Every structure is written in structure tokens, then in C-alpha cells.
Amino acid sequence: MRIVDESTDHGVTERTFTRDVDGDTVPGVLWLPAGNDAPRPIVLVGHGGLQHKKVPNIVELAAQLVRNQGYGVIALDAPGHGDRAADAEAIEQTRQGLQRGTARLDADQTKQLFGRIGRHAGEWRAVMDDVQSAGLSDGRFGYWGVSMGTMIGLPLTASEPRITTAVFGLAGLGEGPGGEAFGEAARALTVPVLFLFQWDDNLMSRESGMALFDAMGSKHKTMHVNPGGHVEIPRFERDAAEAHYVRSLGPVPAPVP
Amino acid sequence: MRIVDESTDHGVTERTFTRDVDGDTVPGVLWLPAGNDAPRPIVLVGHGGLQHKKVPNIVELAAQLVRNQGYGVIALDAPGHGDRAADAEAIEQTRQGLQRGTARLDADQTKQLFGRIGRHAGEWRAVMDDVQSAGLSDGRFGYWGVSMGTMIGLPLTASEPRITTAVFGLAGLGEGPGGEAFGEAARALTVPVLFLFQWDDNLMSRESGMALFDAMGSKHKTMHVNPGGHVEIPRFERDAAEAHYVRSLGPVPAPVP
């Protein structure tokens, strides 16, 4: 992990970094309480398709978890996304067009965006190793990611014992990439899960969302369903995610006097 | 409303009362912050079938809402239940037997328990009138009730403009009493609703629960689904209910200096 920039705003320090993994350079951000590098639980945040590590909902979630709970938060650009995109401007235009219903992903774009996301789990593991070596992590990690953030983070969580709690959403079984392996990963989950689903999601059928929730092997799992489309999760679900982490990660240890 | 008893415990005053409505005497309990009779939002709590106004989950919910938010809370015995039961001991034995799967309700018991619950909405309205006349209510009411508490409270909420927010659950469309009229009441709802559903409910199919959530006319509605049976709603959903009331009822007005 190479720190390339650091700034502090209202008690939250934001460190921009890069990490080389298997010949790729992965850009990331680490948020921490200002002036406090003690070991703490860290929440890993995976952005959605066509998004990047610093979209507003991620920056706001990070600030809330750092300020209210003292957790650390890390976001990475997924392969093909953010600073790793061949043409970030074109992706942003496509994202807006998709949201308006006036654009479609062509085969080339789809390959550029999603062709290499399978390697992202290994990148997350490398960054987890780094923050543990640096003494910033106390060994407990949570995960937050919906849509593509679930497609990547659910198999990661199922196979990574350091991640002990997760918020997933906007994903289903039998739709989207992953297929059989994704269903198997869901069944292999054991950690407490909060699963966010939108009742009128234009990308996921209700049945596929219910099937994914049903398949999850976790003893403790909760599904929150709200009206509205794919990108319309209500603001108050951020508080529900925070409450989920407080229940499952617990508090930050008090400093040793 | 005749106050028959009053006691205070850890900042919460509990007033036991009776109210005569249409020839019946309705027993109830009002919880308030100790020593503070100023007008405030009041949450009406409807118990489940075979339960009564002071089952532990109601007493605990009331204490939490009074202590944390300063709301008032009222619970009543439904017709045929609690102090209004012909044989409370027999009902309690049946309830335990039903839970173990070793008892069934016979036709006589079913009639005694549920034959007159249609009149309960009018009883709630009389008690709401009373607390408004007494200056204890600021005109804003919430409702909480699952299972039979939803069967009674959902039509009440749909037709009572003073109730501006509700928590329902453990109920479905097309199952249980109510039929067409219950579906119509669900479609007529306009207030924010938190709907609690159990994924392995032995009394309600998943499909009927989804159908009820889908039918609710409220623009703001959230469904929380958890694994487990009818009476196994996780403890943390009490915090979710509190957060729902804070969002929709708002804070208790500061006292006028």
C-alpha cells in the first residue's frame, strides 16, 4: 500500500492509496478517525457497476461509520472501473444514459467493465493483509456492497474468514453473472447478513431476490424490502446498515491508557 | 377512562385503567414518562391472539419508547382476551400447547376469542378521544401490532386519520380472517409502514405476506424479513420499530419554559 494523498475533514481522515496486485495497480481510499491509527474493525465497501470508489453514497457511508462508530472504511476501484476504466467519461455517460433508459451497454463495454472482476476478491485480500500488517486492523472486517458490490463481495465473504458480517443487496439468484457458483457461495455464508432489496427493481425480479435471501446459509439474516427501483434504496437504510455493524462487529476497543 | 392503579418504575409511570364502551368494560394500560403529563405522541399497541395487554414484549416495547423517546404508549385487552377472557387460565394453556404443537383451538374457544374482535377498533377510538380530552395526546398517534394486532390495527389505521404511522407484521393477504375487506384496508393505507415478516412462519405463507406488503397503498413502506417461526421476531426489530417511529412521528415537543 502506497499512500498517495491524505486529507482531514470534520474528524475524518481520508488516505488515498494504491496497491499493486498481480501486475495491476489498484487505487483505493482508507477512511479513519482523524489522528487515531489504533487497530479497529474495518468495513470494506464495494461499489456498484459503472460506479467508482468515491461515489457519494460510499463517501457518506464511510463518514457516518467513522464518525459515529470509529470504524475504519476502505473502498477500492473494481477492475475496469473508476481510475482503472479505459474511458471513465464514456462510462459515466453510459451510466447516466442507462438510468434514463436512453443508453445500452454494448459488448465491448460490457467486456471492459466486467471481464476482469473475478480478480477483485484477490485484490481485497491483499489490501486486508496490508492494513493488518500496518496495525490498523484488529482482525475484524465487515463488508458492504450492493448490485455488483454483492456479485463480488458475496463470494469473497463466503470464502474469507476475516469478514465476519456483511450488507448485501440488489442481487438475485438465477439472474446476472455468477450462476451456480454464486448460489453455492450464498449457501456457504455463515456471517450475519443484512440484505437490501428494492420491490420495483428493474434489473432483478422479486422472485430472484427472495431466492437469494432464501439460499443464504447464515443463521442470522434480515431482508429489508423498500418500494422503488434499483438505485432508489432509501436513505434510512444507511442507519440500518450502521445498526447491523454495531450488532455484529461490536464497538471499537477503548484505547489502552 | 377510570384510573384504577398507578405505579412508577425507573422513570416510567404505568397507569392501569378501564373504559366503558357500548356496554363492555375495556381494561387498558397507559405508560408515560414519570411526572410528565404534557401532550405527546402516543403509540397504540395491539397484542396478538391468545395474548393480553401486558405480555413481556409489550411491556418492554413500552418502556423503551417511553424512556428513549418520551412517547406515551397504550395497550388494551382485545375482546375475549386478557381480563376479558371467559377463562384466562384455559387460554394460556391453549397458547402454550399451540406453541408446542400439542393443542388446537376448538370451535367454542375460537368463537370466544375472535367472535367479537370487530368491535375493538371502536374501543381504540374511544380511548384516543379520552387521552386527547385529558390533554395527554398532542394529536399524533402511532400503531404497533403483529398477527391479530395487525388484523385489528390495519383496518383501524386505514380509517383513522389520527394514526399517522404503523408497525404491522405476521399477517398475509388471502389467509386468516378479514378477506376482501382486509385487502381493501391495506390498499387504503397512506401512512408510513414497517412490516415485519417471519420467513418460516407456520401460520402465514411467504406468498401471502409478500402479497399483503405489495397491496399496502402507503408510499413509504418497508418490509423486514427474518428467519424463524411466527413468534420468533428477533429482539433487534424493536429498535427498528423505534427508529421507524422517530422518522415518522418525530420528537416529543420541548416543554414550554
CA distance to B184, B190, B196, per residue, from B220 (Å): 18, 8, 14
For cell 376479558, what's the residue? Answer: B84
Instruction: Indicate the pTM of the whole model.
Output: 0.92
Asked if the interface predicted TM-score (ipTM) of this complex is over 0.90, the answer is no
Query: What local confidence, expressed as pLDDT, does residue B257 receive?
Result: 59
Average pLDDT over residues A98-119: 86
Which residue, among A75, A4, A73, A76, has the nearest Cα to A33 in the 3D structure?
A73
Cα distance between residue A69 and residue A228, in whole Å: 29
Query: What local confidence, expressed as pLDDT, does residue A178 receive?
Result: 59
B243 touches chain A (CB under 8 A): yes
Give the ranges where chain A is alpha helix by DSSP (H): 56-69, 88-100, 107-114, 120-133, 148-159, 179-188, 206-215, 237-249
- Chain B residues close to A210, C-beta within 8 Å: 206, 210
**Residues paired with residue B19 on neighbouring β-strands, in sequence order:** B26
B19 CA to centre of own chain: 17
Query: What local confidence, expressed as pLDDT, does residue B256 receive?
Result: 63
**Of the partner residues A206, A214, A226, the one whose CB lies closest to the CB of residue B222:** A226
What's the pLDDT tens digit per position in A208-219?
999 999 999 999
Contact A134, A35 (CB under 8 A): no
A residues 205..234 contacting B (CB < 8 A): 206, 210, 213-214, 219-227, 234
**Of the partner residues B199, B223, B227, the one whose CB lies closest to the CB of residue A225:** B223
Residue pairs between chains A and B whose CB atoms are closer than 8 Å? 46
**Of the partner residues B225, B239, B243, the one whose CB lies closest to the CB of residue A213:** B225
Q: A25 phi and psi, to 5 degrees?
A: -100, 120
Collect the ranges in chain B with pLDDT lower than 70: 175-178, 255-257
What's the pLDDT tens digit per position in B151-169?
999 999 999 999 999 999 9
Cα distance between residue A254 and residue A40, in whole Å: 10
